[in-house]
Amino acid sequence: MKFEKKDFLWGGATSASQVEGAFDAEGKSLTIAEMRPFNPNLDRKSVDELNKYTRSDYEKSIDNKDNLHYPKRIGIDFYHRYKEDIALFKEAGMNIYRMSIAWSRIFPNGDEAEPNAAGIKFYKDVFEECKKNGMEVMLTIQHYDVPYPITKKYGGWSNKKVIDLYIKFATVIMKEYKDLVKYWLPFNEINVATLAPTTGLGIFREDFSSEEDYVNASWQGLHNQFYAQAKVIEIAKTISSNIKMGCMVANMTTYSSDCNPVNIWENLATQQMQRYFYYDVMVKGDYPSYSKRYFKENNIKFETTPEEMEVIKNNNIQYITFSYYMTSTISKELKDAAGGNLMLGGKNPFLKATEWGWQIDPIGLRITLNELWDRYQLPLFISENGIGVVETLNENNTVEDDYRIEYLSKHFEQMNEAIKDGVDVFGYTMWTPIDVVSLSTNEMSKRYGLIFVDYDDYHKGTGNRFKKKSFEWFKNFMKTKEL
């Protein structure tokens, strides 16, 4: 069976903090991501690893008197090896690379009068390398890496002053790269703002006098990001018609655990506030009615102005991108939890799971694409999808990752079915084309790539790149498009 669509964008996705390294090169400041240590005692199935560290824990990383390992400071050294990596992506047949830009390389303190010239040049060089290799760029402006000086001085995204800092940063890079970058995403997985506020917003629980204040601050930070995104879309219209602005949401499709109407409703309510809410605001330009009841009943308060809401209303996204890794079940009383990225759901007896507890559900991708298309009628792009597995090189300096080939091919098949259903899907970037430091667990050993990177969890190793079996499979798929 052939893949249905001809003019389709195929590629891979990474983030600056998980690949670049060179954490202090040429004026760059530390980011939140680079201040969380590797935890050798982590529980791989827990979703608490992102939220368990305090501001004081992060600040200890500056002097690092405990001599801990901070994996994202090294990443996979993409900063120095990007030409090699982009050449490998091209060899695999990719025609788009989704990546992010480190705010801390452009405005290390957030509030400088002028951008850092070395940072501007680095990304220009990367984008030109992509162009030379026949790849479009999809650029995430902020991907979980608020510069620490912004959280220290301004308290992160709950402070409306940070909106202006971000708009300045975004405006500078849009003007600089308008001819090199076509697809833009203002925030990665914008819903993480309320699920993991330190990661998404750069705010810390200990800075607030009560849990209620902390929760309200996270919703304020989310609103500030909604407004900042809309404002950037408004500015983009004045810079270049080449700039296409979308969104990025950590999509969490769930099913009712059974046909009990109580659980059916519980699932719908979960889908409304943990999935549709974010798309609704960014596509329709207002807070939906169901969210207003949720805010009232949960005593959630945040400040909006008529001017902000007008900007949000008039500057909607042009396409939707989302991450899709798994599905889970929902019931009124969750008894048997499964793992997940950022939130726990219930186990589904019909699905297999990874050792991190992520339930593999290719058909769920077709369901998700149909639901989003039916609801929003906007072009769709899968900006993250992949499987993390513990892997080691064999005697032939490769990895026989047939499980990854099966995972990707099954998801491609369901993507193809959705296209046959009439859904407008225009691209796919796997997470990841190359092994990276894991966002949540900070491991190198949780490997997603078609390309193996020779580092362990403490970054012992050569850092050299080796093609896995899945690399050759994907390369062949790009030539034949046979499923």
Distance of CA 91 to the CA centre of its chain: 25
Cα torsion angle, 318, 323, 328, 330, sign:
negative
- 90: burial class by Cβ within 10 Å (0-12, 13-18, 19+)? middle
Q: Tell me what pLDDT residue 344 has.
A: 56
Tens digit of each residue's pLDDT, the chain (483 residues): 899 899 999 999 999 999 999 999 999 999 999 999 998 887 776 666 667 788 888 888 898 999 999 999 999 999 999 999 999 999 999 999 999 999 999 999 999 999 999 999 999 999 999 999 999 999 999 999 999 999 999 999 999 999 999 999 999 999 999 999 999 999 999 999 999 999 999 999 999 999 999 999 999 999 999 999 999 999 999 999 999 999 999 999 999 999 999 999 999 999 999 999 999 999 999 999 999 999 999 999 999 999 999 999 999 999 999 999 999 999 887 644 444 445 557 888 899 988 888 899 999 999 999 999 999 999 999 999 999 999 999 999 999 999 999 999 999 999 999 999 999 999 999 999 999 999 988 999 999 999 999 999 999 999 999 999 999 999 999 999 998
Distance of CA 389 to the CA centre of its chain: 19
Distance of CA 140 to the CA centre of its chain: 8
Residue in this structure with the two tokens 């030409």, named with its chain if needed: 83
Residue 466, strand partner residues: 452
Residue 222 lies in a domain: yes
The tokens for 180 are: 């090199």
CB atoms within 10 A of CB 352: 9
The tokens for 50 are: 């992102």
Residue in this structure with the two tokens 């807070």, named with its chain if needed: 287
* Contact yes or no for 149/108 (Cβ under 8 A): yes
Three-state SS for 453?
strand
User: Where is 119: in which H helix or E strand?
Assistant: helix 117-132
Residue 62 lies in a domain: no
Q: Which amino acid is at 86?
A: I
Q: Would you give the DSSP letter of residue 244?
A: E
Half-sphere exposure of 97 (CA within 13 A, CB side): 31
Segments in 39-116 forming alpha helices (H): 55-63, 78-92, 103-106
The C-alpha torsion from 74 through 34 and 190 to 411, rounded to 10°, is 30
Catalytic residues: 384
Spatial distance between the Cα atoms of 11 and 93, rounded to a whole number of angstroms: 8
Spatial distance between the Cα atoms of 51 and 326, rounded to a whole number of angstroms: 21
What are the pLDDT digits (tens) for 146-168?
A: 999 999 999 999 999 999 999 99
Q: Residue 220 maps to which CATH number?
A: 3.20.20.80
Spatial distance between the Cα atoms of 311 and 69, rounded to a whole number of angstroms: 43
The tokens for 267 are: 């699932």
Spatial distance between the Cα atoms of 62 and 235, rounded to a whole number of angstroms: 36
Q: Which residues of 198-236 are buried (b: 16+ CB within 10 A; e: fewer)?
A: bbbbbbbbeebeeeeebbbbbbbbbbbbbbbbbbbbebb
Spatial distance between the Cα atoms of 105 and 133, rounded to a whole number of angstroms: 24
Q: Tell me what pLDDT residue 1 has.
A: 87
User: Where is 279: in which H helix or E strand?
Assistant: helix 277-284
Q: How far is CA 54 from CA 39, 62, 204, 205, 348, in A?
A: 14, 14, 6, 7, 34
Estimate the crossing angle of helix 117-132 against helix 78-92, to 10 degrees. 20
The C-alpha torsion from 364 through 18 and 49 to 166, rounded to 10°, is -90
Q: Tell me what pLDDT residue 356 has.
A: 82
pTM, two decimals, is 0.95
Residue 213 lies in a domain: yes
Nearest to 20 by CA among 111, 112, 114, 85: 85
Residue 34 lies in a domain: no
Residue 93 lies in a domain: yes
Spatial distance between the Cα atoms of 106 and 150, rounded to a whole number of angstroms: 13
Residue 350 lies in a domain: yes
The tokens for 200 are: 């998404």
Q: Which amino acid is at 390?
A: V
Residue 153 lies in a domain: yes
Note down the domain range covering 409.
Answer: 9-13+78-427+467-480
The secondary structure of 253-265 as a DSSP string is: -EEESSS-HHHHH
Q: Tell me what pLDDT residue 45 has.
A: 67
Residue 220 lies in a domain: yes
Cα torsion angle, 4, 5, 8, 13, sign:
negative
Beta strands in 58-152 (DSSP E): 96-100, 136-142
Our count of domains for the chain comes to 1
What are the pLDDT digits (tens) for 357-379?
A: 889 999 999 999 999 999 999 99
Cα end-to-end distance, the chain, whole Å: 5
